A and B are shown apart, each in its own frame.
Chain A
């Protein structure tokens, strides 16, 4: 047994040395005064740890604070003063085996991004395996495009957007996405797509008129939380999918909530549900 023990000890010696990627945490803080910038386009590519987006302190155009492992990631930012475009991106190590190091996705890494209030923002977020908390209250969001991977995303429109948003597009790949008070976004066109996972949409907020919404759900479930004073029409193509249709009237393949015509404001949902369930719940 001695030789075997010796062999095992030597194997431990090979495998038990200091890891190549010992943590080398770095903190980055970058902010810029607003100056004469009258708009801001923000492009973020982030796939490691947690990310939050919110409002920056008043005189600042942006305020980014990040913590990352310099052995595995490089987080950098750049600002183009001509086009008023801020790029924040992370460059993660990809090993020869084709897999990112597991530690690169540990929750210690994070990015907190504050954006200017009072100017229109065009936000483009491409998120990987992250936990994202996006609190867009107090911001003027002119357009927003969120593309997520294996992400748990929480998006809140806490206050009414000063101007209607041109476009809101959320592509939730695998994971869950929760949107609070979507109506406050005042989006002229909203599109939510989920490949695998859950979608929880709170359609509340101080909006009026009609809210068009495109919803595509596959392999998962979508919950629509509708204000009691609103009417909702569901025009969804179903493929092995279920729509919670209690209290709904079906006309020409469209599900109308009771009292739809008499409601003060209307939500029209187009799209599809494949191997998924769509539930409608009412909120006061």
Chain B
């Protein structure tokens, strides 16, 4: 593939991603559109009813603006005000509430039920409340974020997660390419020459992670001083495993980037490791983005997600195996004899004969048999 074709494809990919982002944002904006009701008091009462710390009130009990229960006044039901304070000097057999205001219990004021303020306070200024005095700063209604995600929200969350992982890996790739490029190259060449062996070692390494961790905990616990080191050892172990996985995955990404960008580098020119790493990582990102974006498309989405998971797992496993084989890139794997490259010219297979000729080797002659002697 020509370099200009690749650039064109990357540009198409970028435009596609941008359109996807706009679409997702648009869908989210539609989901987040506020629901407006014709009667704000009724809407507030509905929120009050659905709030776990609210209460149920009849519409008739609510009066807009401030409200006062005068001394000597005795009300049998509930009393509420909307966007105004509620002052009580008389007796209320039910509950009282002020939505967007304070509830003030003045001397002689008596509430037999609960007193609730939304956006204000319940103030005891000489009065009494038999039930609970409660104030909430605002309503807490609607589904909890994440508890019931819409498909658009779930998709967006998956996309964000994939992008976040990608950006973290890009940052790690930059650090590794600057500070541990040699190790990365060693791991990469090990994967290239010993792919099956690296996969096997990676698989064994993944299986051995938990037993190794338990063994090290027990080993530390046997020595009494070591018990105190267990938390630190656990953190160090986790970091070590994650680091090995990340390093191996980056090496696999480098190889993937090499494969994609092959031909972009002129002969004899140093290979741009960072570009190749990012290209390789982007390949995995595209797989995950496709899997995330098509999560709700049924079978195709499942297949794409499975593909993303499988490819990532294989890459991580092979990379981990190569990290183990090369001791994190500090030693090269045993070299496998290389197959000589195919001839580049049409008649190159012919052995060039020097003008002076070639001395023929003596053919070994077998020892004469006893019967012939």
- Nearest-neighbor residue (CB-CB) of B28 within chain A: A17
**Residue on B nearest A73 in the bound complex, by CB:** B144
Interface 9-residue window, one of A7-15, A133-141, A159-167:
A7-15
Among A25, A35, A242, the most chain B Cβ lie within 10 Å of the Cβ of A242
Q: 29 interchain pairs (CB within 8 A)?
A: A3-B11, A7-B10, A10-B14, A11-B166, A13-B18, A14-B156, A14-B163, A15-B163, A17-B24, A17-B25, A24-B138, A24-B140, A25-B137, A26-B140, A27-B137, A28-B136, A29-B136, A30-B132, A31-B132, A35-B130, A70-B138, A72-B146, A74-B52, A74-B140, A93-B144, A94-B146, A101-B146, A276-B227, A277-B224
Chain B hits for A264, CB < 8 A: none
Closest Cβ–Cβ distance, residue A276 to chain B (whole Å): 7
Q: Report the Cα distance A93→B13, complex, angstroms.
A: 35
B278 within 8 A of A: yes
The 8 A CB mask of B265-287 against A (1 = contact, 0 = none) is 00000000001001100100100
Give the contacts of A191-240 with B (CB-CB under 8 A): 219-221, 240
Residues of B in contact with A (beta carbons under 8 Å apart):
7, 10-11, 13-15, 17-18, 20-22, 24-25, 28, 52-53, 121, 128-138, 140, 144-147, 149, 153-154, 156-157, 159-160, 163-164, 166-167, 217-218, 221-222, 224, 227-228, 230, 275, 278-279, 282, 285
| Residues A140-198 near B (CB distance < 8 A) | none
In the complex, the chain B residue whose C-beta lies closest to that of A68 is: B140
Interface of chain B: mostly helix, strand, loop or mixed: helix
A251 contacts B by Cβ under 8 Å: no
**Contact of A10 with B134 in the complex, beta carbons under 8 Å:** no
CB-based contact B129/A72 at 8 Å: no
Residues of B contacting A12 in the complex (Cβ-Cβ under 8 angstroms): 163
Task: A16 to B143: give the CA distance in the assembly, Å.
Answer: 23
A residues in contact with B164, CB < 8 Å = 15
- A contacts, CB < 8 Å to B: 1-4, 6-7, 9-15, 17, 20-21, 24-33, 35, 70-77, 79, 91-96, 101, 219-221, 240, 242, 275-277
A147 → chain B closest CB, angstroms: 21
Q: Is the CB of B140 within 8 A of A70?
A: yes
Specify which chain A residues have a CB less than 8 angstroms from the CB of B228 in the assembled complex. Answer: 221
Known: A14-B17, A275-B221. 9 other contacts (CB 8 A): A4-B278, A4-B279, A10-B15, A11-B285, A13-B25, A29-B133, A31-B132, A31-B133, A275-B218
Q: What is the CA–CA distance of A20 and B143 in the complex, to the nearest angstrom?
A: 12
Across the two chains, which residue of chain B brings its CB closest to A25?
A: B137
User: Given the complex of chains A and B, what is the CA–CA distance between A17 and B154 in angstroms?
Assistant: 14
Contact B144 A72 (CB under 8 A): yes
